[in-house]
């Protein structure tokens, strides 16, 4: 059984470019969560999505960041016009609809902004 897949594992962007991070949840999981881990810090919640719906985006920066989880395909976290402060590890987690309190994490995407 495949776990949560994230790609790319490493992403380098220059300031002002766009970053697209992809997350494929565990098969059968309909809930996806994105977290950000800044250097030397714990994970911070960003957004919680179900298929085609954003349920909780209270942790998302107000500008430049967006997320989607379409009916078909992976969840996408999109960062427009990246800045150096966006450099971090971005983790995706998924959970099944009936066991939301057990979140399975992917290996993360490490974004470096030059």
Partner 1 sequence: AQSVTQLGSHVSVSEGALVLLRCNYSSSVPPYLFWYVQYPNQGLQLLLKYTTGATLVKGINGFEAEFKKSETSFHLTKPSAHMSDAAEYFCAVSSVQGAQKLVFGQGTRLTINP
Binding site for partner 1 (CB under 8 A): 4, 6, 31, 33, 35, 41-45, 48, 55-56, 58-59, 91, 93, 95, 100-108, 110
Rounded to 10 degrees, the C-alpha dihedral 14/9/41/92 comes to 110
Q: Any bridge partners for residue 76, and if so which? A: 22, 68
Q: How far is the CB of 103 from partner 1 (least distance, A)?
A: 6
Q: How far is the CB of 92 from partner 1 (least distance, A)?
A: 9
Task: Report how far residue 31's alpha carbon sits from residue 50's, in angstroms, rounded to the nearest whole number.
Answer: 5
User: How many alpha carbons lie under 13 Å from residue 76 in its C-beta half-sphere?
Assistant: 13
Q: How far is the CB of 64 from partner 1 (least distance, A)?
A: 21
Which residue lies nearer to partner 1 by CB, 72 or 102? 102
């Amino acid at each position: 059984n495949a776990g949560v897949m994230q790609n790319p594992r490493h992403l380098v962007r220059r300031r002002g470019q766009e970053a697209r991070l992809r997350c494929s949840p565990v098969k059968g999981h309909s809930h996806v969560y994105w977290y950000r881990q800044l250097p030397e810090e714990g994970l911070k919640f960003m957004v919680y999505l179900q298929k085609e719906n954003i349920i909780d985006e209270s942790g998302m920066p107000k500008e430049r960041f967006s997320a989607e989880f379409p009916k078909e395909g992976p969840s996408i976290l999109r960062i427009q016009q990246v800045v150096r402060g966006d450099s971090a590890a971005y983790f995706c987690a998924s959970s099944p609809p009936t066991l939301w309190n057990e979140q399975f994490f992917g290996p993360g995407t490490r974004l470096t902004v030059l």
